[in-house]
Amino acid sequence: MAAKTMEELVALCKRRGFIYQSNEIYGGLQGLFDYGPLGVELKNNLKQSWWRSMVYERDDVEGLDASILTAPSVLKHSGHEDTFSDPLVDCRSCNSRWRADHLKELICPSCGSSDLTDPRPFNLMLKTNFGPIDDGSSFAYLRPETAQQTFINFKNVLDSTSRNLPFGIAQIGKAFRNEVTPRNFLFRVREFEIMELEFFVEPGTADHWHNFWVQNRIKWWSEQGIEKNKLDVYKVPDKDLAHYSESTIDLMYKFPHAVEELEGIANRTDFDLGSHTKNQSDLNIKAKVISNTNSNAKLAVQDKQTKEWKVPYVIEPAAGVERGVLAILNEAFKIEKLEGGKERTVLAFKPHLAPIKAAVIPLKRNNEELVQAATSLKRKLQSLSLGRVLLENSGNIGKSYRRHDEVGTPLCLTVDFQTLEDQTVTVRDRDTMGQERIHVEEAPAYVKEHIN
């Protein structure tokens, strides 16, 4: 089961400390959100799972964490300064603004008027002053994507790691887009994070690797709790492709508001490395790139046998962290009927994504012996480095169980008076609500096996 409406998810996220509206006490800033105590754990767990699968579990990928501020020349030669815009229309009746490509008909969604301006390009990139004088001539962009910083570091990574094709560079980082109409909670925002791999391949093998990464990403999302039958593979029509793409596959997911893109896997050809390469005429660059670059680098590899230089093609799986968090929350959300007509709300996260891995609950609040025993057990479990373990000293077992069901905690361990006699605790499973008694010394291995 998933959430019936976006409002259902938004209410849960605020109530339980997952996500808040940014700057809320001053009315909020549209398209910006802050992650609360549980939200930051869920977000970090998703990123760690991606990094583990992309970097640690592969032998052909290196990591990178590049700067957010980006020189205008980088985004000039990447094509973003000229093409990174959305069609903007104004409603003459109510003065609201909309993206023209999001209007099914040329009618204002706010007031229903058809008196709209002609579409005009609206630049999505955000600028900031750079240097001591704010005269408009010295500025940098807040990067609209992480990819360009990966491409301009291609030679650095290649030289320092001695990689051969195929190999990849992975990066998770912030990006910024001045969206005309940010909407649908986390789905379309102005500040977000991207989990992105640039995988460099021999030009003639791009189709093979494109298909490989599509299948790889479907499998990974399935491991995060999104069933394969919930993902649709959509080939982006040629007319809708980004300026750098020869072919793009979008993985589409049914969010609470609509079926929309969760992740895109693009064949960027040799466009980007070619665009940032000096003396482009010396290389066999197939993509139409921007000439007269002032870069001083040759972003290419030399064939060991023929000694010819060639610009690799790039396959790019790129997913927004915020959209991933939204999809994971939606997929985990359940309302279950209990005996007696009662209900319980459950976030059935995969254990490795759960914000709280286990809660240790003393049966009686502030009972010194129980609290000491619970604190000792909590420390043992926390030392496993599986994630956050919480000491829940509320004194109400029933309410504690319901709370941890709602925030997605896989296991609750109750320390009671029998614990003081025989060193056993009650372990409750979130999904089955089943309980069993185990020895305190068995608890670390029990929790570790369940979470992993």
State the Cα–Cα distance between residues 243 and 78, nearest whole angstrom.
9
Average pLDDT over residues 387-393: 95
Is the pLDDT at 254 greater than 90? The verdict is yes
Please name which of 352, 346, 318 lies closest in space to residue 331, comparing C-alpha atoms. Answer: 346
Residues 276-321: pLDDT tens digits?
A: 987 777 777 877 766 556 778 889 998 888 888 899 999 999 999 9
Q: Are residues 215 and 313 in the same domain?
A: yes
pLDDT value at position 99?
78
Q: Are residues 323 and 394 in the same domain?
A: no
Q: Are residues 302 and 166 in the same domain?
A: yes
State the Cα–Cα distance between residues 430 and 411, nearest whole angstrom.
6
Q: Is residue 339 part of a domain?
A: no
Span of 10-14, 279-283, 354-358, 436-440 with lowest mean pLDDT: 279-283
Q: Is residue 48 part of a domain?
A: yes
Q: Which domain holds residue 239?
A: 6-84+124-329
Is the pLDDT at 86 greater than 80? The verdict is no
Q: Are residues 302 and 393 in the same domain?
A: no
Q: Are residues 302 and 388 in the same domain?
A: no
Q: Is residue 218 part of a domain?
A: yes
Is the pLDDT at 96 greater than 80? The verdict is yes
What three-state secondary structure class fits 239?
A: helix
Q: Is residue 234 part of a domain?
A: yes
Name the burial class of residue 253, with classes exposed (0-12), middle (13-18) and buried (19+) by CB atoms within 10 angstroms of its CB.
buried
Q: Is residue 60 part of a domain?
A: yes
Is the pLDDT at 334 greater than 80? The verdict is yes
Q: Are residues 22 and 63 in the same domain?
A: yes
Is the pLDDT at 17 greater than 90? The verdict is yes
Return mean pLDDT, the chain.
91
**Tally of CA atoms within 13 A in the half-sphere of 89 that contains its CB:** 22
Top pLDDT among 340 and 232 is at: 232
Range of 277-291, 346-360, 383-397 with top mean pLDDT: 346-360
Give the domain CATH number at 156.
3.30.930.10
Q: Are residues 319 and 418 in the same domain?
A: no
Q: Are residues 267 and 378 in the same domain?
A: no
Contacts 24+ apart (CB under 8 A), 250-256: 251/214, 251/217, 251/218, 251/221, 253/226, 253/327, 254/2, 254/230, 255/6, 255/184, 255/187, 255/323, 255/326, 255/327, 255/330, 256/2, 256/3, 256/4, 256/5, 256/6, 256/8, 256/9, 256/330
Domain boundary among 291, 312, 329: 329
- What is the total count of domains within the chain? 2
Which pair of tokens denotes residue 45? 């767990």
Is the pLDDT at 215 greater than 60? The verdict is yes
Q: Is residue 107 part of a domain?
A: no
pLDDT value at position 226?
95
Which pair of tokens denotes residue 217? 């990403």
Q: Above pLDDT 70, what percent of the chain?
A: 98
Is the pLDDT at 227 greater than 80? The verdict is yes
Q: Is residue 89 part of a domain?
A: no
State the Cα–Cα distance between residues 77 and 222, nearest whole angstrom.
37
Is the pLDDT at 159 greater than 90? The verdict is yes
pLDDT value at position 40?
98
Q: Are residues 27 and 148 in the same domain?
A: yes
Q: Are residues 195 and 323 in the same domain?
A: yes
Span of 66-75, 93-102, 203-212 with lowest mean pLDDT: 93-102
pLDDT value at position 1?
67
pLDDT value at position 124?
81
Q: Is residue 113 part of a domain?
A: no
Strand duo 313-320 + 333-337: pairing: unpaired
Q: Are residues 264 and 367 in the same domain?
A: no
Q: Are residues 150 and 285 in the same domain?
A: yes
Give the domain CATH number at 439.
3.40.50.800
